[in-house]
Structure 1
Amino acid sequence: MTSTGEVEGRAGPPLGWVRRRDVVVDVALGGASAVECGWEGVGFAAEAGIPAVLGVLFGIAVGAVLVLRRRWPIAVVLVGIGITPAVMGFLLGVVGLYTLASSEVPRRITATLTSMALAATFAVMYMQTSGDVEAGRTFVLMLSVFVAVALTVPPVLFGLYIGARRRLMESLQERADSLERELSLLADRAEERAEWARTEERTRIAREMHDVVAHRVSLMVVHAAALEAVAAKDPARAAKNAALVGDMGRQALTELREMLGVLRATAAEKPASAPASAAVAAPVALVGGFEDGPSLDELEALVGQSEAAGMAVEMVVLGKGAGYAAEVEQTAYRVVQEALTNCHKHAPGARVTVRLAHREGEVAMQVENGPCDGSSAEPGLPSGGNGLVGMRERVLGLGGVFVSGPTDEGGFKVSAVLPVR
């Protein structure tokens, strides 16, 4: 059983007083009750045939019990019921019943003590008025019932109302605290999602930079090697290779500028003091920014650039494309581009086959190179080992399938299947 002044999980303050106002109220009520019972103790002493001083002291001691109402409301009510035959303790009984009903005492105990107080008050009132013959028995009975109900039911009902209101306010406060904790948790999660989105965006940008720079620079290195080999023997071919190197460099710079332009535009649109939700939205918007990227229609030009660099490339297209989403077309293009870059790095002089298949609900691509013929030395291009990882991340990010590995003929094969929806 928990009294009004207790806090769940630990003992409450002395006598259930939480605030200074509680002390003032209880001491005032206890003093008033002691004065009332002391005054009524004079009449009790006369009827009991004891000295008036003892009656007054008894009344004061009994009335002062009201100070304990917050800590022991049941004891206070029992004392009030016990002194009912002495016709004293009006304030003690009313305030005690109110405190009992408003506290956390089980309702069955409250109902039992209320019934006892009601019966005791009725009995005392009936005995006090039954000697009045002129009033009549019926009137005495009705008067006793009225007084008993008036002295017990209103304080109990009011106490029940105050207790229910207090519990409602505590419940609302708990819900408010819980909501505040949930909002704090949501803010933390939003910050985590923002950090995750920023990490994903950095990964995507690194992938784009790798694909753009690695392919173009690989072709430039191959053309530069060819230019060095034929510069003295075939000036016309050397001039052609030099022009191709310049074109490759300009294309690489153009793609880099476009990518950096998108990043600057997005950073300018997002204020420095943007909330965590905006931090999430910005990277996601960038991840979806595929509209300006390459498409499958540019694959032939991509293969042509490798052919111009001296690679023997065959392109096979099966089926007819129906125009896919921008992210599907860009991912397919980047997979083929990176696979061709790897062929330039690791399989110089090998024959390469690029296959593109348009199927129902998906598009498949495969880049396969045969074994190196040994006539061409590797161009010595640096490799960070991120090409296959980047291709796998792109394909799996769209829910596709990616497979790569050596072939039985001694070559290497990269295959990917992307869902078109």
Structure 2
Amino acid sequence: MPDKSSQGTNSTQGSNAGDGAPIGAGDRQLLRDLAKRVADVAALPIQAERVRLWQALNQRRPERAMVLAQTGNTLREADLQCEDPTCRGWEAALQAKLRRHELIHDDYPCTDHLDIGYVIDVGDYGVKEGRIYGEIEDFGAYKVDPVINSPEDFAKLRPRQISVDHETTNTRLERAAEILGDILQVRKRGETLCRNMLTRKLIHLRGYEQFYLDMYDNPEFLRQMMAFLRDETLREWEIYEDEGVFTANMGPDNIRGTGGLSYADPLAPPDSAGSVRMQDMICFGESQESIGVSPELFHEFVLQFQLPLMNRFAAVDYGCCEPMDGRYELLFENIPRLSSVSVHPWGDREEAAEKLADKCVFAYKPHPSPVELPEPDFDGAERELRQTLEIAKGCCVSVTMKADFVRADSVDRATRWCDMAQRVVAEAA
């Protein structure tokens, strides 16, 4: 799916095509039947045990490594039966919970919640970013066509228009609660990831190659761009705080940016009005685009601009798909509430284990290729996992497989990987 980091976005739960329209008896009954099945699954003892184990890991007293498979959406549009567009979104959410429980044998707990997303419209920076796609327009890989080509173009940038449609959000919440509120906890869900990805936004304006060249040819302009994006991101978080659309992200079903789940005791109480603030939440920082630069340049042009954002939060997760080789000391020196760091097989796992020890979650993401190949290599995937657990002995380890399971047998592959991973972590405990 195309990244929309600097384009205008519209964050919603399902389509708004059916908002306000009467919901048919067939859709209503189908949703209620699914909700009852979800409630039954959520009440199973295994769910509470999974929550307990994640809490132990995140409190740095792990009983074993925890396993998560981020499989993407394995449910096809053709599998949905509801007619109302909004109901189809709720149906998909409920079906996803059931399919995960039945087919994906990881440590993700099924909860008795149905989340209704806030309707949030985020505009652009005053310019329309350019993208050059391949054969299929607006799909797949693309090359950035920069729109900020010189320091003079900086004057084109504008603060984004950010608005929250509380009326539509509440209408959707009321509709869902009227149908399902006696079975599930129907709740509003706003921003939870709090992703501070300044370089992602930068390259969609300036271009990937130019980002690297600017470090040497135009460092002051690069700093100016990064400062603008820092301030814009902070303004976005402050708007969400003021509008009350932050959602506490230390619950039992919150996937953290580094991988794994963030469940823990709340790190700070909400204010007297019950609103969730930045200081009540975990945030996520990453800079995959700066993978090729030295720790010194990473600090000068990336990390120092993220710190005023990240250090407003209760805790910080850092790293997505980029290795942190040579950067651990910078993270510990500058982020006092560092909670989890992403680790990869293409990085130095020994350095990660030494630096993280039992201070932060060693959030390992195995290589996805062995399970994505036309002929999957589960033996190879098992060898890699065993080796990593041996290296990370004494660390607080989560294992998150982020694979693009889109083949016809994708769910079977995810099931097989989870079964293997659960067996391996149990033997290593």
Please give the TM-score of this superposition, normalised by the length of structure 2: 0.20
Of Structure 1 and Structure 2, the greater strand share is in 2
Of Structure 1 and Structure 2, the greater helix share is in 1
Please give the TM-score of this superposition, normalised by the length of structure 1: 0.21
Bigger RCO (CA 8 Å, 6+ sep): 2
